[in-house]
Amino acid sequence: MEEAATGLTEADLLLLQEQFALPNLHATDDSIANCELLPDASRPRPLALFTAERTDYSLARLHHYTGTTPGAFQRFILLTNYQRYVETFRTYARAQVDAGGDYTAFIEPGDQIYTGPRSTPPEAPAGSLPQMPAYHLCRPDGDGITLINIGVGPANAKTMTDHLAVLRPHCWLMVGHCAGLRRSQMLGDYVLAHGYVRDDHVLDADLPTWVPVPPIAEVQVAMQEATALVTGLHDSAIKTRLRTGTVMTTDNRDWELRLAHLFTQINMSRAIAVDMESATIAANGFRFRVPYGTLLCVSDKPLHGELKLRGMANAFYRERVSQHLMVGIETMRLLRQQGVTRLHSRKLRGFDEPPFR
């Protein structure tokens, strides 16, 4: 019998495996979180939404996809689909740590930790970025802000939120780009989603499309208030920059080429924007009892001839990246200030919930 690289034979390895508990994927699923378990007095009831094996699996996936250890993640999470937000967040985070306030550290992929101007430089560069890099602006109580660039598409959005859910965050928000569908919208305007058309398909088996994904009132109010505070616009003036409505999320990046097929769906739903992540993130938030919200920035208007082409961005649009990110950060501050117990209300719970959130 051939020996493995460790010097152990195949029989030795099989004997060694018998001494340790190995993951059993036949018993590791989301049936608890999906409300698929029926009460059965003859069986023990679950204590939490996720089994130990599911949690361990997701913690390993988080480290793999984001390049940071799970312990670095904060409980307020911003998700984006554009690298410019990362660059702006890095500058903001380092300034906050330097200021010596509530934030005490900033952690980047490769677990590079910045604690101020006197931080010890990393011994080696972090190397290439992971698939969905995460950046953590840390508070001692864990109620800081994590920003993750999930890239483009509902598959990435589902993958990341599937694994983030085991950390039981206070909320996650999508701050990304979208196509504006209304003539009155301008590049750089904001879209606050209060409803979703789920044309992403990646969650259909776990959360059927007939299940409504309602807006979370506390998050909606905080995002609108944060937009007013950051932009300086109030009352009727804010309506010139921020529009509330339905967002359609599609799994087809070139949906514009199938406009004849989608136009009726867009028109009947009264959608005001199209993106590729928001409904997925909201649906997984609903499924996993994590409060969610969406604030998008209009980057193109394909129905009106303004396509997203190289070189289109101007100074007016570029400044919206920083402002948009600050609205997300300010939303997190407001939610933290109001108390997280308001977020974890009964509105996301099923009829027969495990005792531990």
- Reported as a single tens digit per residue, the pLDDT across 176-230 is 999 998 988 888 899 999 999 999 999 999 999 999 999 999 999 999 999 999 9
Contact 148, 132 (CB under 8 A): yes
According to DSSP, the residues that pair with 107 across neighbouring strands are 113, 136
- How many helical (H) and strand (E) elements, i.e. helices and strands, does the chain have? 8, 11
In the CATH hierarchy, which fold is given to the domain comprising 52-347? Rossmann fold (3.40.50)
| CB 76 within 8 Å of CB 171 | yes
**pLDDT at residue 280 in the model:** 97
Q: What's residue 121's pLDDT?
A: 61
* pLDDT recorded at residue 96: 95
pLDDT tops 90 at residue 337: yes
pLDDT, greater one: 124 or 323: 323
Alpha helices in the chain (DSSP H): 10-17, 52-66, 83-99, 154-164, 217-231, 259-269, 278-288, 315-338
Beta bridge mates, 246 = 195, 271
pLDDT digits (tens, 9 = 90+) for 226-285: 999 999 988 888 988 999 999 999 998 888 888 878 888 888 999 999 999 999 999 999
Distant-in-sequence, close-in-space partners of 306: CB < 8 Å, separation ≥ 6: 187, 300, 312
Neighbours of 99 (CB within 10 A): 10
- Give tens-digit pLDDT for 92-120: 999 999 998 899 999 999 999 999 887 76
Answer whether residue 1 shows pLDDT above 50: no
| pLDDT tens digit sequence for 75-95 | 999 999 988 899 999 999 999
